[in-house]
Structure 1
Amino acid sequence: MKTSFDVIVIGAGIMGASIAAALVESGLDVALMEKGIAGAQGATRDTGGIVRGLELDATLRPLTRRGSLYGNPGIVHGLYESALNRSGVAYIASAEVCGQYLEAVDSDGCESIELHASVDALDNGRFSPFCVGECLLIERNGGTVDARVAVSNLCRYVSEKATYLDHLAVDRCVELDGYVQVHAGKLCLEATWVVDACGASGPMPRPHNAVHARTIPFTRFGCDQAPSMPIITHHLNTYLLPLGRNLVQVGGQRRQRAEHADQLNMAPLDNEQDVMDRVSRLGYDRHHSLPVVTQVGWDAYTEDGRPVIGRSSAKSHLFLATGFCGIGFKMAPNVAELLALELGGLMSGVSMDEAYRSVMEAFRPSRFAEVALS
């Protein structure tokens, strides 16, 4: 069995699978490792897969924008675009928030964005009586992708072109002189570089107090008519994701936090009541809406709301790609493209240019206390 690689990616969620596929396509010798089933852990398991390009945090926009950053879409961008159900995405928000969203729109994307002074244009005005004074943005090129299907396709690509090892948990990583040993059960693999894409519970040390675990509660309810597209409702601080004609998923806000995923309280708490109270303010009252199930997943988050991407310390051969705060799905294609460029450059001795460094600086682990590596 092959045991030595250019790069080992740990974690086959949407982020790890995307990074591995991009690295394989760039010509590197890659192994992707997953402790269970691909896409069955963390945020990937429970994400609604809402794909939208508009982002309030300007620092995140290079990661969330649609399309290749460097003009070479590749396998990951191509898979996402082909799998996208372009239903559109609606944003209900104040005029001020809509204005902030529009700052993210460049000249190439403006034709796909609609701004309305009221919500009358959404679903024949059904939400208008409940959203007086709110504005409406519609991102016509947005929509949804089934995250688990996307991960399965990415892992299939990796397994055909490189090495994919599932049901194999990594016990520890040991950094030596210029390479890393990855210990998993009876196996000891080696790689020049290792990428930890394990969300809130990985086998590698992280910057102190940087990445935490957080519950992701959501409720699915039946109704007379689901919305025609996903809706981001700023005034209610949640989202509505249509899952069928009469079924909607809504994000809950009663969240728990812990240092590691296995310390989280995964009880539903009062999220069902909280969600139903929120959607009743959009007209989904108790007479026409029935809660079906409330579930609790988890994700990795950071206090500043920005992911941790890059070398764990200045000279380390360990990379981190975690802390995506539950929206890693819409960042994965561009993060994969950026890391493929950086790791490819490191393997070939090519330095990244200033434009690349300026994009990545805000996400470096060094913004937190550096990891103490043994």
Structure 2
Amino acid sequence: MDVIVLGGGLMGTASAYFLARRGARVTLVERHRVGTGATVASFGNIRRTGRHLSQLPLAHRSRERWAEAEALLGRDVEFRATGHIRLIFDEGSLADMRAYAEAARPWGFDLEELGPSDIRARFPGLGPEAIAASFSPRDGSANPRLVAPAFADAARRLGVNIVEEARVDRIGFTGSGFRVESSKGVFAAECLLNTAGAWGARVAALFGETVPIEARGPQMGVTEPLPHRISPVVGIWTRSKAYGAYLRQVERGNVVFGGAAERVPVDLDPGHAVADPARLPEQLRAVVRLVPALAQVAVIRTWSGCEGYVRDMLPVMGRSATTPGLFHAFGFCGHGFQLGPGVGDAMAELIVTGRCETPLDDFRIDRPSLAA
């Protein structure tokens, strides 16, 4: 089986790798360099807390692949199961957390509830005003700058042809397969996997499939190196976007943070948002609520990127509804990093075997919630 993968972010490189492991002959085509789209703009969060319930089977599958990542890829991508804590500052958010925890339990996901004394004892310095928190001990983080290149290198070792800096000029369906004309040559295969991220809807539209999607850029930042004091990934349960910050401290001591600031619209040409320094104070106020000790630290860099947000906030994943041999995996709405290895594993299973043990029906491209 020959497969062309369009897009070289985490979804595309992981799919190429797992397809090759299943014996497929794969060509991956990326218009820039691998891992330079939504993946490199990612916070690096590996969380299952708060996910749409129908995503949890895929998230569980992906969590198992994250645990195997170093052995699979032959290098450390800085996956660390440090735990994921979400602080709670009001009764309404506590009720939201408890309702989610109850709903998620039948899906195989258990959240631990922490009281104020538990937070102080186990995670001193976090949210001194918090009334509670949720804790998921097996979640954590990884380095988004390392993981897509690592999957790409591992895929190359399995024989995948990775074509970078290739402008795609035309994509066609011949009736028996697909033909992709690019600035780096012409490629043909019986299957095409669309992992083009925020550009995925453009590819789908070529085959008569409309997906309502918006391209938006997050605002991310990182502090100067500090003594290492924060072990888990830290977030918040809140209904207010103004407080919706998250952060983690990397092993080198820097604190990476995001959230609180509204994601900005992105023009897909050229397809990259620019961080706005004027929005930084708003973010830092939310960050300091989570960790007051960060009030006086220096921010050394900010950045943004381009993520695709589908109207119903669920990804598009599975078979095309119009074209045999066409598959989609795009539109992960700013929370696809944790899912990436699982997406690649699941799509490879679906393409090569015709079935997938992980339920994907809620993500199909012709679901009613995407109808015009």
Please classify the TM superposition score into its range, dividing by the shorter chain length. 0.7 to 0.9
Alignment RMSD (CA, Å): 3.2
Q: Counterparts of 1:204-353 in structure 2 under 5 Å? A: 204-206=203-205, 207-222=209-224, 227-235=230-238, 236-244=243-251, 246-252=253-259, 253-258=261-266, 260=268, 262=270, 266-268=274-276, 270-284=278-292, 288-346=296-354, 352=355
Q: TM-score, structure 2 length as denominator? A: 0.82
Residue 198 of structure 2 aligns to a residue whose secondary structure is coil
Partner residue in 1 for 2:137: 140
State the percentage of identical aligned residues: 23
Which segment drifts farther, 20-29 or 52-61?
Answer: 52-61
Letter in 2 for 1:211: I
Maintained 8 Å contact 2:218/2:305:
yes
Maintained 8 Å contact 2:272/2:304:
no
Q: Counterparts of 1:1-374 in structure 2 under 5 Å? A: 6-40=2-36, 42-66=37-61, 79=72, 83=77, 84-93=79-88, 94-99=93-98, 100-101=100-101, 103-105=103-105, 110=110, 114-118=112-116, 120-121=118-119, 124-131=123-130, 133=131, 135-162=132-159, 163-185=161-183, 187-202=185-200, 204-206=203-205, 207-222=209-224, 227-235=230-238, 236-244=243-251, 246-252=253-259, 253-258=261-266, 260=268, 262=270, 266-268=274-276, 270-284=278-292, 288-346=296-354, 352=355, 359-367=359-367, 368-369=370-371
Which segment drifts farther, 73-82 or 182-191?
Answer: 73-82
1:241-280 deviation line (CA, Å, top 9, x unaligned):
2135653222132222257363665351632011112123
Return closer, same or farther for 1:232/1:148 CA change in 2, 3 Å cut-off: same
1:276-320 deviation line (CA, Å, top 9, x unaligned):
121232353786233333222221111211001123323343222
* Structure 1: 5+ residue stretches without partners: 347-351
Q: TM-score, structure 1 length as denominator? A: 0.82
1:205-241 deviation line (CA, Å, top 9, x unaligned):
3443522211111122346765222101123212112
* Structure 2: 5+ residue stretches without partners: none
Maintained 8 Å contact 2:46/2:141:
yes
For 2:319 and 2:350, the matched residues in 1 are separated by 10
For 2:94 and 2:281, the matched residues in 1 are separated by 29
Residue 366 of structure 2 aligns to a residue whose secondary structure is helix
Partner residue in 2 for 1:349: none
For 1:55 and 1:101, the matched residues in 2 are separated by 9
Query: Matched residue pairs, number?
Result: 351
Return closer, same or farther for 1:102/1:270 CA change in 2, 3 Å cut-off: farther
Maintained 8 Å contact 1:226/1:248:
no
Letter in 2 for 1:140: P
Letter in 2 for 1:364: R
For 2:109 and 2:271, the matched residues in 1 are separated by 42
CA positional deviation for 1:109 = 6.1
Letter in 2 for 1:161: L
For 2:25 and 2:128, the matched residues in 1 are separated by 57
